[in-house]
Chain A
Amino acid sequence: MQTIKLLGAALICAWILGFAPPVLAADSTDLSVGLKTLPLLTEKMSGAVVVAVVFDPAKPNSKAEAESIKAMIDSGMEPPGGIKLTATLVSSNEGHKMAGAKIVYIAQGSCSDAVAATATAGGMLTISTDIDCVKAGKCIIGVVSKPNIEIYYSKAASDAAKIGFSQAFSMLVKQV
């Protein structure tokens, strides 16, 4: 009992002091849902696919989320369609390192014009749990997995990157 009280007090203190464990913006369900959009692309991906996981190095939570995403992919998470994913962490101020990626995962706090421009120019599919990023037209797919699955879709960003989805997909998602 004493231990529990001590742990509780420590958690409360940590929360008050801002040292609470970071709450990751995305979990495996978010990533899994995002990857399930891949079969609905008009130009299907196949084989080995590199995922650039972009984060803002100035924001610990952003980096933590990116590392978590990379770990999930490295642990063998596979999207439908026999695609083999590999992940690479990319700092948002080193956008050129996104080259070669087909998918860009934008971690919380790393949404920027520069990242969007690089992804668009490279025809990359951008995915994030940052819905504001999608609403700003800087990311194509926004994922909310709890309590209900919702997909936000920026057609402007999709068109700019020349990435198309099936008709049914566009009618089922929340287009912004």
Chain B
Amino acid sequence: MRRHMKLWGPPMRKSLLSVSYSVAVLAFACGINTPAQAQVSMDYGALQELFGEPVTTSATGTPQRASEVATTMTIITADEIKHASSRSIPQIIGELVPGMDIMQTSATAFEVGARGYQQPMQPRFLVLIDGRQVFVDDYSRTVWDNLPINIDDVRQIEVVKGPASALFGSNAAGGVVNIVTYSPLYDNSNAVTVGLGSQNTVVGDAVATAKLGSFGGIKLTAGGMNGDDFHTSREVAELATYTNPQHRYITQSSVFQLAPNVQANTELTYAESKGMFADYADLVDRNDFTTYSARVGFGWQTPYGQISNNTYLNHAEASTYTAPAVALGGATDLIVSSLEDQFKLGVDHSFRVALEYRHKTFTDMNGTALLAPSAPRTEEDVFTGSGTWVWHPTEPLTITNALRLDHVAGEQTGTLPYDSFVSANQYGHDVNALSVNSAVNYKVDDFNALRLSYGRGIQLPSLVEYGFNFAFSSPSSIYSQEGNPNLKPTIVQNYEIGYDRKLPALDSTAKFSVYYQINQDIVAETALPVAIRFVGGPLPIATFQEINVGNSEGWGGELELQGTHPLGFRWDTSYSYSSVADSQTVKELVGYDKSTPTHHLRLSLGYTTGKWDFDGHGQLVTASALQRGSLTSTYNIPTPVSGYASLGGRIGYNIRDTMTLAVMGTNVTNAVTVTSPYPAVERQVLVSLTNKF
């Protein structure tokens, strides 16, 4: 749901939700080449030790070394996380990944995008924790300050730039963040961190792992934070809902080795948070958010390949306070069940085939408080088949092809408010969407590697955009926001060339990539009502909808130099260029061309000597202009933001091998830095003490 200048009617808020569910897989007959043991939980640590670099499954669904992935990807390791200037995942990503756009809208709220197209409630970047979607399907967004995760328990953060829908499905149109935590089976993740910081911040996190002999392991994490939000200027009306941020979470995960060829896993999570954030109307208000999830899965090695299942339920409840006593909200449920088979045919061909079913539901929890007599409910069933084929025709050449076909069947239940512009029986929608990822990796020699890739990603309209109904009465009219079941998915196509060169003389690796991206059928809200009607009352009803408004093209590139020296020095610097050109309607309604900073320069330098770590992270970002809502105006206004420089850093002292005292901070050179149209960010400093055992 993209914002624009509202030419008519008051700004509105919404609520959200989703559910999904799925199943399936295949087996293949003759000649299948499979190993003897199933692993539902990959031993990332042992593989990283063996190959001397991180491994990932986020590029193709099959394991790959970081230096050989079929896409433009950055893997942030636990060691890099340790040296970051924040314990916040969006800030860590912003410091360490070229080409990322991180927008901070409060002390704890962030939007994470890549290569432009930044916006509140960023819908283009899919976020997962250990393969479980934490992206919420209501508005299609990630509530970063609600994630049930302990940063001390993160093994690596995998960031894929560009469409990755063929593996991950819709909403991986702009990229993917997959956060991988330590395995209860293979790792011993035990740590306690306490911290005090600016904005009266108090942080506490703990993780403990219990081994059950060779039978398995159980891991518990818990923690949270309290603090103050920024006090930087904003509209007086927005101050009415001002609240301080708070976060609590608890998780349990386990992996069991049931037999030499069978593993099973379980996971339970709960998180609640509150804080200020930028809502879909480009306003800043209070967001109370509660999530929980349950997951089971198994891995089973058969003569036909390794079959694995991943089944989970996500539930999210959102309350957005537009005024101190007015909370709008919704509940989103997602049930996913997938079944996949990974196998090799001969020595040169690796395959992954999968079937998936998901059921999403969004229920408006506050319908009765508005004009709706009962809460409408938007539901979608998604049936998916997907596959990946990795072929090594010759030693230096790898060809990867991945396809995914989603069939989406949606409907609206419940009672629509009054005489809706779109009647209930019109809400059924069927969408077939094809996602593609292809790549050719050519290893020129031991030091040079080339990569050509193509991605076709799908960004399905959110449940809110498809079917949410909301009405707001003013003295002169009734403003009605209605879903649009005729919306088409936004298609993102990305063409990219990547070149990596190892520079042993500099102890460094240089990475270069250029891309060209086409976005078709972008969705945005109409500027003028699609209909103005009188339905039995004295006031006119003005109906607004999301519609497909046009296309946008982007191109750019990234150049990165990263290295470490045995004497304890480390460096990572990059320059990113982004250019976006919108079609006329997109330019008028959304303005991605102006919201994308053209130049972005990063520099991270670190040095370890004895028990001391010193790290600095600087960024230069050029000007942009994003739309900003106003409670005192019916217009959302493109608000220019000057370019800015920011500097963060960390000083750590390792009191002993297992205990570290650290001082870390972001935007440390200025008390206040304007980085977006939202309230300027303040200097944030944290003193933390971490003990691992």
Question: A: which residues have CB within 8 A of B?
Answer: 33, 36-37, 39-40, 42-44, 80, 147-149, 151, 155, 164-172, 174-176
Q: Is B342 part of the binding interface, using a Cβ–Cβ cutoff of 8 Å?
A: yes
* The one of B43, B62, B301, B504 that contacts A40, using a Cβ cutoff of 8 Å: B43
The total of Cβ contacts below 8 Å across the A-B interface reads 83
Contacts of A37 in B (CB 8 A): 50
The answer to whether A42 touches B55, judged by C-beta atoms less than 8 angstroms apart, is no
A-contact bits for B258-286, CB 8 A (1 contact / 0 none): 00100000000000000000000000000
B347 interface hit (Cβ, 8 Å): yes
The answer, yes or no, to whether B39 is at the interface (CB within 8 Å) is yes
Contacting pair B55 A172 (CB below 8 A): yes
Contact check, A167 vs B49: say whether CB atoms are below 8 A apart: no
Question: Which residue of A42, A147, A168, A172 contacts B446 across the interface (Cβ within 8 Å)?
Answer: A147
Residues of B within 8 A of A151 (CB): 50-51
Cα A147 to Cα B447 in complex, Å, equals: 8
Assess the B36–A42 pair: CB atoms within 8 A: yes
B344 at the interface (CB under 8 A from A): yes
CB of B309 to closest CB in A, whole Å? 15
Quick one: CB contact mask for B203-234 with A, threshold 8 Å, 1 for yes?
A: 00000000000100000000000000000000
Q: What distance in Å separates the Cβ of A59 from its nearest Cβ neighbour in chain B?
A: 28
Q: Tell me whether A39 and B43 are in contact (CB under 8 A).
A: yes
Q: Is the CB of A166 within 8 A of B65?
A: no
B37 beta carbon closer than 8 Å to chain A: yes
With A and B bound together, what is the CA distance between A37 and B47 in angstroms? 8
* Residues of B with C-beta under 8 A to A171: 62-63, 342, 344, 350
Encoded as 1 (CB less than 8 Å from any A CB) or 0, chain B from 391 to 406 comes to 0000100000000000
Within 8 Å CB of B504, what residues of A?
147
- Asked whether B64 lies within 8 Å of A164 as measured between CB atoms, the reply is no
B42 within 8 Å of A (CB atoms): yes
Task: Provide the bound-state CA to CA distance between A169 and B37, in Å.
Answer: 11
Q: In this complex, what residue of A is CB-closest to B504?
A: A147
CA distance A166 to B347 in the complex (A): 16
Most buried by B among A42, A168, A175: A168
Chain A interface mostly? mixed
Q: Is B251 close to A, CB under 8 A? A: no
User: Known: A42-B37, A147-B446, A147-B504. Contact between A167 and B50, CB under 8 A?
Assistant: no
- Does the CB pair B43–A166 fall under 8 Å? yes
B46 interface residue per 8 A CB criterion: yes
Residues of B within 8 A of A44 (CB): 214
Structural contact, A168 and B42, CB atoms closer than 8 A: yes
Asked whether, in the complex, the Cβ of B260 is within 8 Å of the Cβ of A167, the reply is: no
The residue on A at minimum CB distance from B53 is A149
Contact of A149 with B38 in the complex, beta carbons under 8 Å: no
25 contacts between A and B (CB under 8 A): A39-B43, A40-B47, A40-B50, A80-B46, A147-B446, A147-B504, A149-B51, A151-B50, A165-B36, A165-B37, A166-B42, A167-B34, A167-B63, A167-B299, A167-B306, A168-B39, A168-B42, A168-B47, A169-B35, A169-B47, A171-B62, A171-B342, A172-B51, A172-B55, A172-B64
The reply to whether the CB of B52 lies closer than 8 angstroms to some CB of chain A is yes
**Complex interface bits, B503-528 against A, C-beta within 8 A gives 1, otherwise 0:** 01000000000000000000000000
Give the contacting residue for A155; candidates B33, B65, B186, B301; CB below 8 A. B33
Interface residues of B in 324-344 (CB under 8 A from A): 342, 344
Q: Which of B55, B260, B347: most chain A CB closer than 10 A?
A: B347
Contacts of B55 in A (CB 8 A): 168, 172
Q: Which one, B51, B52, B342, contacts A167 given CB within 8 A?
A: B342
Chain B residues with Cβ under 8 A from A40's Cβ? 43, 46-47, 50
Judging by beta carbons under 8 Å apart, are A36 and B260 in contact?
Answer: no
Q: Contacts of A33 on B, CB cut-off 8 Å?
A: 50
Q: How far is the CA of A44 from the CA of B186 in the complex (A)?
A: 12
